Amino acid sequence: MKFKDILNINEELEINYFKLKFKDSELEKCYLERLYSSMKGFQRNAIFITIIVYALIGFLDFYRYQGELLNNFLILRYLIVLPIVSILIVLSYTQRLKNKWQLLSNIIVGIVVISVIIINVFSPIPISYFNSHTMMLILIYSSVVLRMRFLNTFVTGLSLVVLYSFIGNIFIDFPIKLFLYNVFFLVTTFVLTCVASYITELNSRRNYFLQMKLEQEKENVRLILENEIESNKMKSKFINITSHVFRNPLTSLIGSIQVVGDFLGYKDIDSAVKYNQYSRKSADEILNILNRIQFLIKYQAGEIVCFPNGFDIREMIKSFLLKNNKFNVANHKFLLNLHEGEVFFVVDRSLLDTMLSEIIANAIKFSPDQSEIIVETELVNDDLSIRISDQGDGFDFSLFNNSEVEAFNFINDGSITGLGLGFVMIKATEELLNAKVSYEANQPNGTKCNILIPKNVILK
């Protein structure tokens, strides 16, 4: 049977069984802090009781000693030992020593032991023969009442046994059998107190470890529940908002189809074509929302991978704006200010197209009809800078600049319209492209979006 099985120790409890110390230094520090904090009041009371008992035992000296020897022992007890111990107790309330009660307990026990040994050395025979019982009481008292840790109990007990054996053998004329008898019982008491102290502290450490594990599990469960509750709230609100956003283009689509049918019945081809375009626009809006949601789901699942390819950034922006301008129903004017020179851009063109589409869509959404939207490119220290400026009312820039990449984290904010998926799409593509996107105020009015592409993805 293993040692751990005998003591019923958890397999996860990583501890040095010789030093009786946690292998994790941070866990050891927290354990000692809690131990000293919880025992501070008890140990103070125990030390006060120790002083009182030590002082009361001094009255027995009146029955055992006489004359100058009695005076010397009284001086030792009441004028040397007790004042020193009292000073130590007072000092323990200072800032530096207020958490050193275990150390102070050791020092106080050591002082008492030294005084008892001195009394034992100078006591007349046969009184000096039986002072080993006092030593045994000190060992038991320090372990049980003062609740010393195992290492402190071991050091204190071992020192006491060695001192008693050395002094008893050198300075006291012991009969050999009586000396061996005293040492045997003193060593036995020492071993038993060490075992008791070891088991007590080991159980204390095990209970502390299990308590920490329990608190950690409770915290994990709490976080899981909070995340689940928040996730359910987000899902519910997202479904509500999404259903509302889908309702408008779907209603328009159904209405346009009905109107197209009516106009075809009246053979009004021009009107039918017009409402057919409305139908296509509504269908495109629905498809766009679904594509964005699908993109973010794949992004969160880590299924989107960059496939860099080289292309001319100027031609890419021109063709991009030309393709998107046919959906510009508000007749915004796009002004281009592109840098000179051949610069080929090595990156996932599809992701860049997605990012620019969302940024341009926001610029259109927040800008008044027929206003100007300026697209500029520039090389800054070999990095590619793209700036898109509009003249709209703008929005709270901190909503974007200070947010983490997390799908749907803008849904419940009242400062933006729609689902807020566009902002999250920009954040997601920013991370995937290793770019840097930020918004700032555009003077004299409007919003400016700055995109910075690192130089390691540009080939000249």
Q: Are 139 and 159 in contact (CB under 8 A)?
A: no
What average pLDDT does the segment 49-74 reach? Answer: 81
Residue 13, sorted as left (phi over 0), alpha (psi -120 to 50) or beta, turns out to be: beta
Q: At what angle do helices 313-325 and 349-366 cross, to 10 degrees?
A: 50
As given in the structure block, the two tokens for residue 44 are 């103070």
Predicted local distance difference test score (pLDDT) of residue 63: 78
Q: With 50 as the cut, is the pLDDT of residue 405 above it?
A: no
Residue 98: band (very low, low, confident or very high) from pLDDT cuts 50, 70, 90: low
As given in the structure block, the two tokens for residue 418 are 């729609």
Class of domain 309-459: alpha beta
Torsion of CA 28, 34, 36, 38, to 10 degrees: -150
Predicted local distance difference test score (pLDDT) of residue 301: 76
Lowest model confidence (mean pLDDT) among 196-200, 313-317, 319-323: 319-323
Alpha-carbon distance of 62 to 380, in angstroms, equals: 96
As given in the structure block, the two tokens for residue 163 are 């001192």
Q: With 70 as the cut, is the pLDDT of residue 253 above it?
A: no
Among all chains, which residue has been given the structure tokens 């320090």?
142
As given in the structure block, the two tokens for residue 399 are 């909503």
Q: With 50 as the cut, is the pLDDT of residue 378 above it?
A: yes
| Angle, CA 68 vertex, CA 67 and CA 69 arms, to 5° | 95
Torsion of CA 150, 154, 160, 165, to 10 degrees: 150
Predicted local distance difference test score (pLDDT) of residue 265: 60
Predicted local distance difference test score (pLDDT) of residue 230: 79
Q: At what angle do helices 150-170 and 101-122 cross, to 10 degrees?
A: 10
| Neighbouring-strand partners of residue 312 | 344
Share above pLDDT 90 across residues of the chain, in percent, rounded to a whole number = 1
Residue 455: band (very low, low, confident or very high) from pLDDT cuts 50, 70, 90: low
Q: Does residue 295 or residue 235 have the better pLDDT?
A: 295
What count of other Cβ atoms lies within 10 Å of the Cβ of residue 55?
A: 14
Predicted local distance difference test score (pLDDT) of residue 232: 77
Q: With 50 as the cut, is the pLDDT of residue 259 above it?
A: yes
Q: With 50 as the cut, is the pLDDT of residue 1 above it?
A: no
Residue 394: band (very low, low, confident or very high) from pLDDT cuts 50, 70, 90: low
Predicted local distance difference test score (pLDDT) of residue 459: 45
Q: With 70 as the cut, is the pLDDT of residue 207 above it?
A: yes
Residue 175: band (very low, low, confident or very high) from pLDDT cuts 50, 70, 90: confident
Q: Does residue 213 or residue 125 have the better pLDDT?
A: 213
Predicted local distance difference test score (pLDDT) of residue 3: 46
Mean residue pLDDT across the chain = 76
Which one, of 406, 396, 336, lies nearest residue 362 by Cα? 396
Q: With 70 as the cut, is the pLDDT of residue 23 above it?
A: yes
The 3-class SS string of the chain reads CCHHHHCCCCCCCCEECCCCEECCHHHHHHHHHHHHHHHHHHHHHHHHHHHHHHHHHHHHHHHHCCHHHHHHHHHHHHHHHHHHHHHHHHHCCCCCCCCCHHHHHHHHHHHHHHHHHHHHHHCCCCHHHHCHHHHHHHHHHHHHCCCCCHHHHHHHHHHHHHHHHHHHHHCCCCCHHHHHHHHHHHHHHHHHHHHHHHHHHHHHHHHHHHHHHHHHHHHHHHHHHHHHHHHHHHHHHHHHHHHHHHHHHHHHHHHHHHHHHHHHHCCCHHHHHHHHHHHHHHHHHHHHHHHHHHHHHHHHCCCCCCCCEEEEHHHHHHHHHHHHHCCCCCCCEEEEECCCCCCEEEECHHHHHHHHHHHHHHHHHHCCCCCEEEEEEEEECCEEEEEEECCCCCCCHHHHHCCCCCCCCCCCCCCCCCCCHHHHHHHHHHHHCCCEEEEEECCCCCEEEEEEECHHHEEC
What average pLDDT does the segment 366-379 reach? Answer: 84
Q: Give the range with max mean pLDDT: 238-242, 247-251, 347-351.
A: 347-351
CA 416 to chain centre: 32
What average pLDDT does the segment 315-344 reach? Answer: 74
Among all chains, which residue has been given the structure tokens 């025979």?
125
Q: With 70 as the cut, is the pLDDT of residue 244 above it?
A: no
The pLDDT tens digits for 132-148 are 677 777 778 777 777 77
Residue 433: band (very low, low, confident or very high) from pLDDT cuts 50, 70, 90: confident
Predicted local distance difference test score (pLDDT) of residue 328: 59
Does the model's pTM come out above 0.75?
Answer: no
Q: With 60 as the cut, is the pLDDT of residue 460 above it?
A: no
What average pLDDT does the segment 400-407 reach? Answer: 54
